[in-house]
Structure 1
């Protein structure tokens, strides 16, 4: 199955000055947006009140969310807990100054819990509060730090793998484009102020893995064509590799995007952030695989000599995985 002819000859490398300039602009703009507007951190990172509510009869999450919104608690995060009769409710009390302070200056859990219980019982009298707790911002700060460290280790691990599997220039090009993909994805989230919670963080890490998969396919074709060609300019090989894998890249991105669209429309509000972030990452990662990764390889000076198998006469000439 192909969308584009396998032997098409679209001159992607001829646009490299413009595509790299756009990529650099998007990265700078993203950094500026993250520094000025910042990410809209959700309850997982900012802390808040967490409650568990039991129902005598099965209940729909949408009904619980609708009851809370009707009572003025429209920013609560509602999730099912292993069944149809128990739900978790998380919310930030900062939107209600009167509910913030107890006698000791801490968050008034009793008042917040009473408000939530009263609101839910107005819609369903069988609602019963099982537990309530307050999670401080220190936990959120630790999660943010751990998420950043996880992303850095993933990117470094990818760099090490590609350095061994291909060649150092491939590793550098891949890491550069991965940083581009992550920054631009986060920049778009900062621009639209989409809530950034643990599911979004998970999708950012998934974007890193998805994006590198596209680039490895192109890189593998580059290595194959370099070894097969007797005399060919690096620009010609890189351009032919992109064209050969173009249908595969577009089809994979299209069907992954359709899957994320289905997850958005049928998976419920809890996974909206994951699906939207993945859709953004798929688009950015696909474009960078076509327009950014190979130009970086070309400017780094990749050549046939770098990818030839080791020979007995001169084993240091080439490196083979």
Structure 2
């Protein structure tokens, strides 16, 4: 009897991507690479920006960290940002992204809404796509002059320019940007708010076949494949599902992208570099009539600008995105 009870309470590994995530039989999840969570700071004396956390929805749980430059004399562009982390770790509230946006927001003179969406595997895809779309709808709802939105946000109402709404994201967040901008092409946002531009930084896309200079790997050794299997195990079409393969079976045409401008950022040493260039070429050939740009930084690795925003190349990218937001 004692042995039987012990066997039912043993904590066993259900699934794992070593050094990234371990899922246990009791439902607990370990994320070794998760950066520490830090609080927002109003009128931060050590930076040129104020930050605060807001609730967007209680059911499901969606929240965000907002960043507002301390010096502003006119309405600012709004960047709705989706963080990276393979859909299964990282946070809008982590030290990594907080430090990045403390630099980014004042340097680009923009309001940032950094979205905290639900993570896999506790909430498998497509949950995060729905959360991010709902967050974008909430931002747009603050544009109404006649009807107050749920959880109205004074920073957006008083300082945001709803004619200059952008979405952006890095890595998995870049993938989310693609899926959100495709949805925006067929589904309107509240009060006819439009996405002016999209920023995809080192976006995560994949397929069952290699592109560019990629080497062929077995699924068991392929990190991109393992991540997709973990976060969306029931994905129709598997690794060729249109949410990760933009031209997979059944994917809508890229000429329906729902914004006017797009910039795809890649890094020369990044394992996802080929996918970013591939996506850029796919959009370029799709017939989409927006303005498309490719920004490449040689001799840098995946999301270098998030890890080292104050580096020479990190600042170079921030400067380029500042121009993109204010064109």
User: Given the two structures, how large is their TM-score scaled by the length of structure 1?
Assistant: 0.24
Higher strand share: 2
Larger radius of gyration: 1
User: Given the two structures, how large is their TM-score scaled by the length of structure 2?
Assistant: 0.24
